[in-house]
Amino acid sequence: MTRISLVLSLALLSLASPALAADAVNEAFRVLDAAESAEDPSSQLPALEKLCKKKKPDKVAEMLRKGRRRFEEAPSSEANRIEDGLGRGTDLYVVIPSKRPRSGYGVIILLHGLGGNGQQLLGQYRSFAQSQGMVLLSPSAQKLPGGGQPGPSGKPAEANEDSMGREPMQHWWHYRSSGFPLRALSWIKRRLPIDTDRVVMSGYSMGGFGTWNTGLRFPDRFAGIAPMAGGISRRSAYGMSDPDTESLLGNARGLPLFFVHGAQDRTVPPTADRMCRDRLKAMKAPFQYYEDPQAAHNLSAWFGKNRPLYESWLKKRRRVAWPKTVEHHIIGAYMTRSYWVEVTSMSGSKASVRASFKTRNKIELKAEGANRFKLFLPPDKKLFDPKKKLEVSVNGKRVFSKKVKPSAAAILDSWRGREDHAQVSAYMVEVKAKR
C-alpha cells in the first residue's frame, strides 16, 4: 500500500468512526429499552454482552453516558397519553420550549391539586420554562385502587401510606416509581434529549403531598423539589404521628427543597411543613421555607410578590449525578436504591444506609436493617480508579478488597428501573455485611 493510499484509508476510517459509534450507542439503548419493557430484564443480558465483546463494557458505558442519538417520535401537542404500573391511563400535558439547550432540555414535573388536572399549573410555569429551555410535564392524577383502611362507609381509602382511613378520594398521586410522575419522566426521555441533571418537581396541595413523597422516596432523580401548600403526610398535617413517612426527611440531605405554606390555611394546615422546617434545620439539610402570614390555601398572592425569588432558586438547580456521599432511608422494598448505592437485602421493611468514598477506591458503609448491597462505581477517577483495588467496609468491617472488572451486567443493573444515562456504570460490586 502506498503512503497516499494509507493516509486516504485512515482518513476514511476516521470519518466512519462517528457513524460506527452512533450505531453502537443506538443498539445499546435498544437493548436497554427492551430490558426495561421485558418481564425479566436479565433476558436482554446476552444481547448486551454480545455488544460489549465488540466494544469493552467501560467504553459502551462511556458512550451511553453521552445520551441517546435516536428518539421515538416527539410529542406534537400538549395532550398525550401514558400508563402507570397499575395499568391506569391518563392525560399527560407537555410543553416544549422553542430552543433546545446544548446539553439537552431540563424538565419541570408539575403535580396538580385535588379537583384539578394536568393543565392546572401550566400557566404559572410556561414563560419561565420557555426562557430556561425546560420541558413542562404535567400528568393528570387518577383514582387509586382501594387498599387503605376503610372509612365510615366501609369502602377502603386509596392505597397510599398516608390514607388516614378516610373515604376514597376522587384521585390521588401514587408514591412509586411506577406512578404517573416518574412514568412521565421515562416517557419524555425516549422522545427528547433530556439533561437528567436538570430535573425538578413541583406541586400544589395534593400535588404538594405528591412532590414531598415522590421526591423523598427517589431523591436521586431530582435536582430539587418544590412542594407548595402540601405536606409530607396527611397524618402529620393534622397533628397525628407518622414516624415512617417522616423518616424520609433523612433523604433530604442531598436534595435541595423549596416549600411554601399559608399560615391561614385551613384546608391543609401548615403543621407538617413547620415540622419539616424544624427537622431540616436541625439536620442542616439544604432548604428554603416561606410561610405567608396572610395566605390561606390559595397562594396566588404569594407567587405574585415572590415569583423572582422562586424562579431564581429553580434556575440554580443542578444534580450531582455521582455524589461522594449517599444517605438513603428506606421504608419499603420499592425504594431501595439511591444514586450509586442499592440495598438488596433487608432484615425488615425499613433500613438506612450511609455510603461514602473516604478516599479514592475506599468506600465505607454504615447501615441499619440492611445486610447486602450493590455499589455502582463512578466514572470519576478522583473517586474510583479501576486499575487499583477497591476496598469496602460495612459497619467498620472490611468486606471487599480487590480489583473490579467492567461488565455488561453492571451496565444493565445501573440502568434498570431509572433509565438515566448519566448514572450508567460498567463497574459494580456486590457486598454483604459481616455478622
Residue 10's pLDDT band (cuts 50, 70, 90): very low
Give CB contacts under 8 A, 24+ apart, made by 117-120: 117/91, 117/141, 118/90, 118/91, 118/92, 118/93, 119/78, 119/93, 120/204
Per-residue pLDDT tens digits for 390-419: 999 999 999 999 999 999 999 999 999 999
In the block, cell 397499575 appears at 86
Q: Tell whether the model's pLDDT for residue 48 goes beyond 70.
A: yes
- Of all residues in the chain, the percent with pLDDT exceeding 90 is 79
The predicted pLDDT at position 55 comes to: 87
The predicted pLDDT at position 220 comes to: 98
Which amino acid does the sequence have at 1? M
CA distance 248 to 40: 30
All cell numbers assigned to 59: 467504553
Strands 79-83 and 390-394: unpaired
CA distance 180 to 202: 14
Q: Tell whether the model's pLDDT for residue 97 goes beyond 50.
A: yes
Strands 351-359 and 325-330: antiparallel
CA distance 240 to 258: 24
CA distance 389 to 400: 9
Look at 38-42, 366-370, 394-398 and tell me which has the smallest mean pLDDT.
38-42
Asked if 117 and 204 count as a contact pair (C-beta separation under 8 A), the reply is no
Q: Tell whether the model's pLDDT for residue 14 goes beyond 70.
A: no
Residue 163's pLDDT band (cuts 50, 70, 90): low
The predicted pLDDT at position 170 comes to: 79
CA distance 332 to 217: 9
- CA-based nearest residue to 276, from 247, 296, 314, 298: 247
Compute the mean pLDDT over every residue in the chain, rounded to the nearest whole number: 91
- Of all residues in the chain, the percent with pLDDT exceeding 70 is 90
The predicted pLDDT at position 237 comes to: 84
Residue 24's pLDDT band (cuts 50, 70, 90): confident
Residue 238's pLDDT band (cuts 50, 70, 90): confident
Residues 78-102: what's their mean pLDDT? 93
Q: Tell whether the model's pLDDT for residue 354 goes beyond 60.
A: yes
Residues 152-158: what's their mean pLDDT? 63
CA distance 306 to 41: 46
The predicted pLDDT at position 208 comes to: 96
3-class SS at 21?
A: helix
What the chain holds in terms of domains, given with CATH numbers, is 3-55 (no CATH), 79-315 (3.40.50.1820), 325-432 (no CATH)
Residue 12's pLDDT band (cuts 50, 70, 90): very low
Give the 3-state secondary structure percentages of the chain, helix then strand then coil, rounded to 5.
35, 25, 40
CA distance 119 to 185: 17
Buried b (16+ CB within 10 A) or exposed e, 281-316: eeeebebbbbbbeebebebeebbeeeeeebeebbee
Residue 337's pLDDT band (cuts 50, 70, 90): very high
Residue 13's pLDDT band (cuts 50, 70, 90): very low
Centre a 10 Å sphere on the Cβ of residue 146 and count the other Cβ atoms it contains. Answer: 13
Per-residue pLDDT tens digits for 370-383: 999 999 999 999 99
> DSSP secondary structure string, 288-345?
EEEEESS--S--HHHHHHHHHHHHHHHHT----SS-SEEEEEESSTT--EETTEEEEE
Residue 305's pLDDT band (cuts 50, 70, 90): confident
Residue 19's pLDDT band (cuts 50, 70, 90): low
CA distance 28 to 116: 40
All cell numbers assigned to 129: 420554562
The predicted pLDDT at position 21 comes to: 74
Radius of gyration of the chain (CA): 23
CA distance 276 to 289: 9
CA distance 94 to 180: 13
Q: Tell whether the model's pLDDT for residue 7 goes beyond 50.
A: no
DSSP E strands in 206-320: the ranges are 224-228, 257-262, 287-292
| Signed CA dihedral, 407, 413, 416, 421: sign only | negative
